[in-house]
Structure 1
Amino acid sequence: MILVTGATGTVGREVLRRLPADLAVRIMARDPARVTGAPSAAETVHGDFTDPASLTSALQGVHTALLVTNPDGDDDRRFLDPARAAGVRHVVKLSAAAVADPGAQDLITRRQRHNEDLLRGSGMHWTLLRPRAFMSNTLSWARSIRTDGVVRALYGTSVNACVDPRDVAEIAARALTEPGHEGRAHTLTGPEPLGAADQTALLAELLGRPLRFEELTPHQARAALGARYPAEIADALLESAERQRAGSKTTVDATLPHLLGRPARTFRTWAHDHLDAFAGL
């Protein structure tokens, strides 16, 4: 039995679409009604990392699990003890590329490192998936593009080798179902480093209409983040943006195309496939 957590999130829902239909799959979600695209034979159950009884129930009979958590919480610790007690043998964890960068010392990255250490010390087999930023993060621009024809972001010319979450999901599905991934950390990037200004220009081309890029000042960016996140998380995201500005996220890693046997999807491909979100159709 394979257990999938985070099934309504960016990667988890794509993993469900890529799991073979003949496998025994259980999906754990706080709201099972929100789960879509699951294999027809999959079992969907209610589960919450803060509810030990629900975790114990969801983990019964599971041998492999996909672990997707919020790094600013304590969900990894809550999950790993009952998983080990239930006899889970292999955990595939969604982490982040920044953990391998010694210059990344922001709060979110430190917590990701801690959570990776918890898994490595759990006694279970492990696989770590460490993606760069998801191309889908640009969906946060969709509203301003539709209404104003504007993208507003910090440091428009700083670049990041962002990755298509569908590629990350394909590797996650393979790690869950194929041997050879245990004890490995996979850094997953897209095929080229791009900045927000580059992405804006490409979206304008695909949409067939002009878009304007407006660069936020650090003060404006802090105010925008502070309206959405606690102050400590906003600070961590700004630290990450400064590292990107310094060039820490430009490296294109060969792991993803090696594992998939094909090139990583480009931002152009991702944007084309999601253009309706920006066009308002």
Structure 2
Amino acid sequence: MILVTGATGTVGREVVRRLPRDLAVRVMVRDPSRVEGAAPGTEVVAGDYGDPASLDRALRGVRRAFVLTSRVGRDDDARFLRAARSAGVRHLVKVSAAAVADEGADDLITRWQRTNERLLMDSGTGWTVLRPRAFMSNSLSWAASIASEGVVRALYGTSANACVDPRDVAAAAVCALTEDGHEGRIHTLTGPQSITAVEQAAELGRLLGSPLRFEELSPDRARARLRERHPAEVVEALLACAERQRAGAKAGVEDTVLRLTGRPARSFRTWAEDHREVFCRMT
């Protein structure tokens, strides 16, 4: 039995869609009604990292599990690891972040991910860690301003990030969940080239048939916009990440997706073409 957590999220839902149909799969989500794309016979259970009884139910009989946590600063990983050990789970595949390997990264989010990785590696359970760069899907946050103003706004528009298609992260996770040879390994996942926000805006403009204007945000304006969606300490962590990107820390490209899946990582152009209808609905 394979358990998938976060099955309604950007990566988790793609993992569910890509797992072989002949495997026994269970998904754990807070709201089972939101699960889409699961194969017939997939077991869907309600669960939450903060509810030990629900974790015990979700992990009963599970041999391998996909673990994705997102509540920064919470002890969700520790809770899940305790329950997984008690249930006898043999292998955990966790989504972390590429910044963990950067000695210059000391923001709240990266420290939290480092702590979670150490907990996993010291747990006595087999493990695989996936460290993706930023998701290409983050550009969906521009859809509203593209629709209303034909504008993309971002901080440090000429800084490059080797962002990755979430579908490639999911494909790597499926490899680790279904193949031997991944235990004790760390897979850093990037796109095929680094790209700036200005270049992404230009690509989206070509796709939509109308040039988009890029407007660079000042750090103060970016901080104000981020505070509309995140706690202050998370906002400062995101701004620190942006500073590291401006310094070139996120531009490195890896061929991990090709090595794991046998095909190259998808480009931003491919991701945008495949999600064109989202932006078209907004225009």
Shorter-chain TM-score range: over 0.9
Aligned to 1:88: 89
CA distance in 2, matches of 1:279, 1:48: 35
State the secondary structure of the residue aligned to 1:37: coil
Aligned to 1:126: 127
User: Is the CA contact 1:22–1:41 (under 8 Å) kept in the aligned structure 2?
Assistant: no
1:48 equivalent in alignment to 2:63: no
1:148-191 Cα distance to aligned partner (Å, 9 max, x none) = 11111100000000000001100101111110110000000001
Aligned to 1:178: 179
User: Mean Cα displacement is larger for which, 67-76 or 51-60?
Assistant: 67-76
CA distance in 1, matches of 2:28, 2:73: 20
Structure 1 unaligned spans of 5+: none
Count of matched residue positions in the alignment of Structure 1 and Structure 2: 281
Aligned to 2:267: 266
Aligned to 1:67: 67
Aligned to 1:20: 20
Q: Which AA in structure 2 matches 1:155? A: Y
1:247 equivalent in alignment to 2:248: yes
State the secondary structure of the residue aligned to 1:186: strand
State the secondary structure of the residue aligned to 1:224: helix
CA distance in 1, matches of 2:86, 2:232: 36
1:238-278 Cα distance to aligned partner (Å, 9 max, x none) = 00000000000010012121111121100000000001111
Q: Which AA in structure 1 matches 2:51? A: D
Structure 2 unaligned spans of 5+: none
Aligned to 2:11: 11
Q: Which AA in structure 2 matches 1:72? A: G
State the secondary structure of the residue aligned to 2:193: coil
| CA displacement at 1:11 relative to structure 2 | 0.3
Matches within 5 A, 1:132-171: 132-171=133-172
State the secondary structure of the residue aligned to 1:223: helix
State the secondary structure of the residue aligned to 1:126: strand
State the secondary structure of the residue aligned to 1:180: coil
State the secondary structure of the residue aligned to 1:22: coil
1:52-101 Cα distance to aligned partner (Å, 9 max, x none) = 10000111000100001014321001100011000000000000000001
Aligned to 2:79: 78
CA distance in 2, matches of 1:170, 1:262: 10
User: Mean Cα displacement is larger for which, 87-96 or 71-80?
Assistant: 71-80
1:223-252 Cα distance to aligned partner (Å, 9 max, x none) = 011111111000000000000000000100
User: Over aligned residues, Cα RMSD in angstroms?
Assistant: 0.8
Q: TM-score if structure 2 supplies the norm length?
A: 0.98
Aligned to 1:112: 113
CA distance in 2, matches of 1:211, 1:101: 33
CA distance in 1, matches of 2:105, 2:213: 31
Aligned to 2:196: 195
Structure 1: 4+ residue segments shifted above 6 A: none
Q: Which AA in structure 1 matches 2:224? A: A
> What's the % identity of the aligned pairs?
67
Aligned to 2:34: 34
CA distance in 1, matches of 2:63, 2:263: 29
Q: Which AA in structure 1 matches 2:13? A: R
CA distance in 2, matches of 1:268, 1:154: 21
User: Is the CA contact 2:227–2:235 (under 8 Å) kept in the aligned structure 1?
Assistant: yes
Q: TM-score if structure 1 supplies the norm length?
A: 0.99
CA distance in 2, matches of 1:248, 1:190: 15
CA distance in 1, matches of 2:263, 2:55: 37
Q: Which AA in structure 2 matches 1:63? A: R
